[in-house]
């Protein structure tokens, strides 16, 4: 069975929250992993509204240290501490993250945290500053960062579930191969004799393709974004402005609807999700959607707390 990647858009707004859209936060669930990307003010409450448990967060990825992306951290971390979160929580971010955390977040934690010490309340918070490249790699998935262009150090992230060889259980059943230690040999691609017949394990295996999700937060148009997003199944991108506001977008280091759609097209992604909409489009997200669709057809603008599975 394919393990799903579940995305929940906890906050789809930008610098100023609205009744409809909270500050940015996206949760990516895969098996026991709960990876939170950005943590705007009020994110822990968005978890509750979405009937998700913030205490299950395993990793936090910060795109950059503008308030709208991080001001939910003190409250979330306090809740984890009060609820007896055990183990180590690693917060990844761009260069300058340790200083930013120490100055912006630590004073509000309600428990001691120091950049040179690992101990923080009941659990360990570890800050890791990243450059571009793969920064986490397991048998099943890896995480990659790329540098973006904003008016402060900023990263975008990809989450990639590696391709996997699997045993075709249906074929196995059709061939009436019983469950036995020999099946383990087949999985290794070996040829074994079952019921007097030679069975080639390689012919019973199939490849489950890799799956990729890329999260592109605050940035202006750049080539790293296209490279990182290349062949993603889902690209979640900021689209702060309409194409009519191209100059403002550039000035503030943001993407327009058309910029995000152009990245999606160039990177040959399968689907595009637009978030981080400016409050000025509160009542008219269709304007942003329509503009993006002129460039890239498979695009959605989710509401807060909506999700997507792949």
Which range touches Zn ion (CB under 5 A), out of 12-20, 30-38, 52-60, 192-200? 12-20
Q: Please say which residue, 162 or 252, places its beta carbon nearer to Zn ion.
A: 252
Q: Please say which residue, 144 or 218, places its beta carbon nearer to Zn ion.
A: 218
Q: Give the closest residue to 5 by CA, choosing from 232, 168, 224.
A: 232
In the set 38, 41, 68, 144, which binds Zn ion (CB under 5 A)? 68
The active-site residue out of 38, 68, 218, 233 is 68
In the set 144, 218, 291, 304, which binds Zn ion (CB under 5 A)? 218
Q: Report 178-217 residues binding Zn ion (CB under 5 A).
A: none
87, 100, 241, 290 from 285: Cα distances, Å: 41, 33, 10, 9
CA distance 88 to 78: 14
Determine if 38 is a binding residue for Zn ion (CB under 5 A).
no
Which range touches Zn ion (CB under 5 A), out of 64-72, 220-228, 241-249, 299-307? 64-72
HSE on the CB side for 168, CA within 13 Å?
A: 14
68 an active-site residue? yes
Q: Report 109-148 residues binding Zn ion (CB under 5 A).
A: none
- Decide if 264 contacts 272 (C-beta within 8 A): yes
Least CB distance from residue 248 to Zn ion, whole Å? Answer: 14
Which range touches Zn ion (CB under 5 A), out of 107-115, 181-189, 218-226, 290-298? 218-226
CA distance 274 to 254: 13
Residue 166: other Cβ atoms inside 10 A: 14
Least CB distance from residue 238 to Zn ion, whole Å? Answer: 7
Number of residues that bind Zn ion (CB under 5 A): 4
CA distance 159 to 152: 23
Least CB distance from residue 80 to Zn ion, whole Å? Answer: 24
Determine if 304 is a binding residue for Zn ion (CB under 5 A).
no
Q: Please say which residue, 124 or 246, places its beta carbon nearer to Zn ion.
A: 246
Which residues on adjacent β-strands are paired with residue 35?
28, 59
In the set 66, 211, 212, 243, which binds Zn ion (CB under 5 A)? 66
CA distance 260 to 272: 8
Q: Helices marked H in the chain — which ranges?
A: 43-49, 67-70, 73-82, 97-100, 169-174, 181-187, 223-229, 246-252, 257-266, 285-293
Residues that bind Zn ion (CB under 5 A): 14, 66, 68, 218
Residues designated catalytic:
68
């Amino acid at each position: 069975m394919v393990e799903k990647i579940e995305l929940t858009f906890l906050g789809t707004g930008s610098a100023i929250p609205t009744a409809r859209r909270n500050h940015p936060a996206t949760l990516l669930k895969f098996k026991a992993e709960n990876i939170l990307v950005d943590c705007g003010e009020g994110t822990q409450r968005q978890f509750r509204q979405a009937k998700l448990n913030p205490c299950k967060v395993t990793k936090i990825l910060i795109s950059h240290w503008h308030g709208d992306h991080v001001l939910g951290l003190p409250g979330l971390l306090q809740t984890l501490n009060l609820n007896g979160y055990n183990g180590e929580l690693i917060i990844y971010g761009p260069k300058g993250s340790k200083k930013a955390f120490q100055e912006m977040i630590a004073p509000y934690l309600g428990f001691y945290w120091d950049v040179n010490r690992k101990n923080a309340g009941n659990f360990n918070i570890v800050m890791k500053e990243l450059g571009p490249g793969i920064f986490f790699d397991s048998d099943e998935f890896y995480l990659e960062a790329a540098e973006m262009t904003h008016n402060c150090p900023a990263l975008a992230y990809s989450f990639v579930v590696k391709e996997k060889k699997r045993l075709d259980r249906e074929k196995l059943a059709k061939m009436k191969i019983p469950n036995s230690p020999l099946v383990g040999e087949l999985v290794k691609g070996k040829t074994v004799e079952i019921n007097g017949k030679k069975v080639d394990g390689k012919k019973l295996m199939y490849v489950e393709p890799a799956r990729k999700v890329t999260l592109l937060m605050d940035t202006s148009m750049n080539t790293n974004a296209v490279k990182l997003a290349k062949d993603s199944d889902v690209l979640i991108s900021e689209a702060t402005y309409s194409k009519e506001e191209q100059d403002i977008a550039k000035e503030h280091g943001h993407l327009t609807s058309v910029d995000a759609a152009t990245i999606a097209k160039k990177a040959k992604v399968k689907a595009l999700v637009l978030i981080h909409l400016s409050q000025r489009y509160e009542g008219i997200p269709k304007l942003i959607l329509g503009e993006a669709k002129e460039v890239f057809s498979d695009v959605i603008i989710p509401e807060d707390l909506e999700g997507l599975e792949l």
